[in-house]
Structure 1
Amino acid sequence: MCTIELCTIVLVMSDAPRLRHQVCFALYSASKAATAVYRPVLEDLGLTYPQYLVMLVLWEQEPRSVRDLGAELGLDSGTLSPLLKRLEAMGLVERRRSAEDERRVDVVLTDAGTALSARAQAVPQRLADAAGLSPDEIGQLHATLGKLTAALNSSL
């Protein structure tokens, strides 16, 4: 009887999901490693990774409403508001009531925030160099992750 129970336990254990086979863990590990590579470069800019993401969105287009920023970055207002407050205290952005709709708060870059974009130009290359992937492989990875994100979001 013990042998049968032991075989059942071994079979059940071997059928259990393995961490190393989980796509979610591979994504988590890659994200954590990428953030670690970014950290020293972003420290030179005086930014955290989430602050860098906010700045990227604003460097692409400004002004942006707080709501639009949150939607683009997938952040709720409880997370985004402290980020914006800190960026404002650093003199990189300003929050202003919209002239068209007083309920809307727009975020705009200051001159210092705009100037920081020139210093941030090297950030993506730093990750690319550390990744050890060819430009084509990085492009494929980006496309695959975009497809994965869209599919997972549509399944919610």
Structure 2
Amino acid sequence: MKKFTKNLRSLLLAASGLVLCAFSLEGLLNEDAVYVQKKLSDHYDVAAQGADIKRYELNVTNTGFCRYKRHFANGKVEYFSFNFSKFKDLDYYGTVKNGRLFLRTKGEDVIVQTYNDKKGDIDSMSSYLSIPLRDMEPEDLTDFLEKFRRINVQLAAR
């Protein structure tokens, strides 16, 4: 009976440890997603997107999705989305003042959808997502890469 009780305690201890680890990973993922969302919003370059874009939405969710939507003045909407579990690398082309951040995926994992276009609604896939940014220091890019990779690892651990 003592052996059974000891095994039961060990099993309960291991199970509670797994539950705590799961919650801590979830918390880290949420923190990183909120941080990345804020940084991308702070550095988004409205001037570089063009006068024909009426508004934009840029979201990083706690489930690991990056979503970017552009609404044009003529009614056209472009929507881009990918999961950070497919994230491969990032590139930045431009200067400290302004440039474009390219988020690259392992394959053609970025969903691209176009609505209300003269050519019709178009669904396709891409291997990158491009976001116009301003005031980007090299440290900011390093920080982005670190956070993106950490989100990728946390999603893989789920």
More helix by share: 1
TM-score class normalised by the smaller sequence: 0.3 to 0.5
| Structure possessing the higher radius of gyration over alpha carbons | 1
TM-score normalised to the size of structure 1? Answer: 0.35
